Structure 1
């Protein structure tokens, strides 16, 4: 495994989580909250930022990242399942008509989480191999 790739992947995951600050306009975009008031409340959005901080912190870990990556993969799996359930019971068109930033957010957040779930799972599975610098 390439340590630089892993580090950059964790940093990119953090940046993507921090992007919630843009989509939520600094937690003032109530269209995101209204579309899913439980998961995407301002508290939920803050927790997304906190996960970003955790990913950024993990980017500095040089060894023994396996179980951290495994935990992150499970966390992302939960968000992917929640997103799919949300899509099945809600209308993206309605969110877009309320706010374009909220529409974009709900269109991409699950795909983003799926991508990073696969990345974290890859790190978890691959971490039994020696990590290269």
Structure 2
């Protein structure tokens, strides 16, 4: 299956925008509930790093063809976050987050699903770029 380059470019931009949405959920880093429920991964520093990853995705949107291995790193990063979220969901009560703050609850409800979707996207692009290099 092949996807047009313009769609892939939009996928990188969308991945970046989804990461930048942490600004909304964190209320520009003032929402303490997010960090309270996962102080290691979702501290304000962790949220800032999510923004930086988002900027990295958008920075390669138009020239992703030249950075195959970086796309592989993006996939690995998304796999790690999806795994951390899965573990968090198994060991925490999402209702407790919602009881404290709606935006934090929505954030914890969707961030791992988002990371899983973009993990699949980055893997797909990485595999496509590997096939192109190997067939030449």
- Find runs of 4+ consecutive structure 1 residues off by over 3 angstroms: none
Compared CA separation, residues 83 and 69, structure 1 to 2 (3 A)? same
Q: When the two structures are aligned, how many residues end up with a matched partner?
A: 130
Aligned-pair CA distance for 1:67: 1.0
What are the within-5 Å matches in structure 2 for residues 7-26 of structure 1?
Answer: 7-26=9-28
Counterpart position of 2:126: 124
**Which one has the bigger helix percentage?**
2
Secondary structure, in 3 states, of the residue corresponding to 1:26?
A: coil
What is the CA-CA distance between 1:64 and the residue it aligns to?
2.1
Task: Name the residue aligned to 2:41.
Answer: 39
TM-score when normalising by structure 2: 0.92
**Residue aligning to 1:72:** 74
For 1:64 and 1:52, the matched residues in 2 are separated by 18
> Please, what TM-score do these two structures have when normalized by structure 1?
0.94
Gapped regions of structure 2 (runs ≥ 5): none
Residue 63 of structure 1 corresponds to 65
